Structure 1
Amino acid sequence: MTDIPTVRSLHVAKARRLPTRTVPEVEAEEGRGLVGDRYHGSKHRHVTVQTSAALAAASEVLGLEIDPGLTRRNVTLTHGDLPTKPGSLLWLGDVELQVLRIAAPCRLLDDWIAPGAMRSMHNRGGVVCRLLSSGTIRVGDAARWAPPPQD
């Protein structure tokens, strides 16, 4: 494994209760979200990002492997400790994002994965971000982040 985290998988869902679909790339529009995703056009919640390490930890707690697409997150990174402080910046390829908050696990997880899935994802659900620039995010793109802003 390289030291640089990369985009492992990308997922979008056209509507709130529809399953996500895996895509090799997605267009990100500054201030609008991911084209084809249920949150495209929302004011703030543009992209959700999680890591494979958090998924592995949740899978261990649940006793069942959790598929990244079933978590309802848009982006899964290969590894790394995501910044969680609001205002922190991260980049997926050339696309700049700003962390808004820690993402709460989706209520649908217990129905779509297994009972207890939502609880297993508690504090492992990644972050909700706003898009600060436009571009294409692709599987394999490098991910990087800046140190969190000082208070």
Structure 2
Amino acid sequence: MRSCEQALAILDGGLAEDRYARGRGFWRLTDGCQVTLIHAEDLARIKRRLGLSLDAGEHRRNLVVSGLARTELRGSEIRIGEALFEWHRVRPPCGYLDRVSGAGTAKALGRSSGHCLRVCKTGLINVGDRVFV
């Protein structure tokens, strides 16, 4: 995983250069996630409670957002920058996470492991863009 300042969300494809959009890396087509998102508050809570820091993409989610209730996204359209997304489902952690970030990481994330989104409108997203639900 790598951090970037800007990404292009592609209609029905995911983020340009991402493993889901390119069909590369560790994932399965049946995962059905074009874009994954996690809440910064959940990452902070895990760090406080368990001392587990998932910085620099170790959580294996595409986007990190803050200031939204987890339930606020369910069934919603989400605009970030120029792109429009549709909430698809909760994204449970996968076992591969333990291999790359250490044993117990997937369990620590549990129900706080993020969401799957579908791209409904192609557009650029940037670090710091506001999220509209």
TM-score in same-fold range (> 0.5) = yes
Corresponding position of 2:109:
121
Task: Tell me the matched-pair count.
Answer: 125
1:125 & 1:54 partners in 2: Cα distance?
8
Corresponding position of 2:26:
none
1:35 matched to 2:16: yes
Report the 3-state secondary structure (helix = DSSP H, G, I; strand = E; otherwise coil) of the residue aligned with 1:69.
Answer: coil
1:38 & 1:135 partners in 2: Cα distance?
18
5+ residue gaps, structure 1, are 1-19, 146-151
State the identity %: 28
- Which of 45, 52, 57 is residue 33 of structure 2 equivalent to? 45
5+ residue gaps, structure 2, are 24-28
Would you say the 8 A contact 1:95–1:134 is kept in 2?
A: yes
2:68 & 2:4 partners in 1: Cα distance?
22
- After superposition, residues 54-133 of structure 1 pair within 5 angstroms as 54-82=42-70, 83-85=72-74, 87-133=75-121
2:101 & 2:48 partners in 1: Cα distance?
14
**TM-score after normalising by structure 1:** 0.75
Report the aligned-residue RMSD.
1.9
**TM-score after normalising by structure 2:** 0.84
